[in-house]
Amino acid sequence: MWNSILSVFLVAHVLAGIVAAFIAFPLAALSTKGTALHRWSGLTFVGCFFFICIGGYLLEFENLTGTVVDVFGLELNISPYREDGGVDVLAVVNTAMVNTMAFYLAVSGWRVWARARAADRGVFPKFDSIIAVLEIVAGLLFAVTLWHAVDQSDSQGLSGELSGTLEFGHLIIIAATVYVMIDAGHDLYIGVSRRPPRAWWIIHARKMITAEMGLAAAFPYRCVPFGTTGGILMLVAMTIVLVFGVAIARRFAKQAESTPTIA
């Protein structure tokens, strides 16, 4: 019974990732801001993230047992194993924290407009501050577990294969953690100080673009053996999304300038 449930969630996890990355995000990005298409595609993007992350959490929980998930007759072994054959618990926790951080970016980015309208009335929901704190905790756990994994790979003589150099691996961890701390910290500051920032659309675009970057990187991460090739493909996928996102954000900026009444 449990394997059947996992199979369903794994399929939903994959399908939701495909819909979010290749349909919902492009539609939301290319449609005119404020239109029904933009709103519904954005809602679909966030809804897909819900299934992506819930499925991810269930799979990470199952990974702790080191079992194999059967999907339509295909036995998929997705547990990260150590050299001694045991399950790498830190790797499981790290992946779960990546799920959490990406989910937060999508949800908080989607809620930007609701927060802007509430701020105009002097209302700052506690929900946003609470999830910002949870995001900060997730970011710290992500940094600690991945830092340990990079150091461990270096001690086994694998750092050149996995990340090029130990220093480069640490640099990526620091950059990702700093971004999470600034993003969630800024959201928390808004709620605590009750001082809404200007240009909410910038926050909205930044969060959604970075959420899509993480989603794009997940495809080579899961489909290509983690090594030099996988790492390069992840960087390429993220760069493509970043360039595309910046171009769309510039178009949104022009829309905001021509429509000053939009927050």
Note the pLDDT tens digit of each residue in 91-139: 778 778 888 898 999 999 999 888 888 888 888 889 999 999 999 999 9
Q: What is residue 261's predicted lDDT score, i.e. its pLDDT?
A: 44
Return the ∠ at Cα 50 (arms to 46 and 55), rounded to 5°: 145
Q: How far apart are CA 147 and CA 172, in angstroms?
A: 10
Which of 213, 181, 121 has its CA nearest to residue 221?
213
Domains of the chain: which residue ranges?
A: 2-258
Residue 139 in contact with residue 103, Cβ under 8 Å? no
Question: Which segments in the chain show pLDDT lower than 50?
Answer: 81, 158-163, 261-263
> What is the reported pLDDT for 161?
47
Strand spans (E) along the chain: 69-71, 74-76
pLDDT recorded at residue 224: 60
Q: What pTM does this model have?
A: 0.80
Q: What is the pLDDT of residue 42?
A: 92
The pLDDT value recorded for residue 138 is 92
String of DSSP letters for 116-143: HHHHHTT---HHHHHHHHHHHHHHHHHH
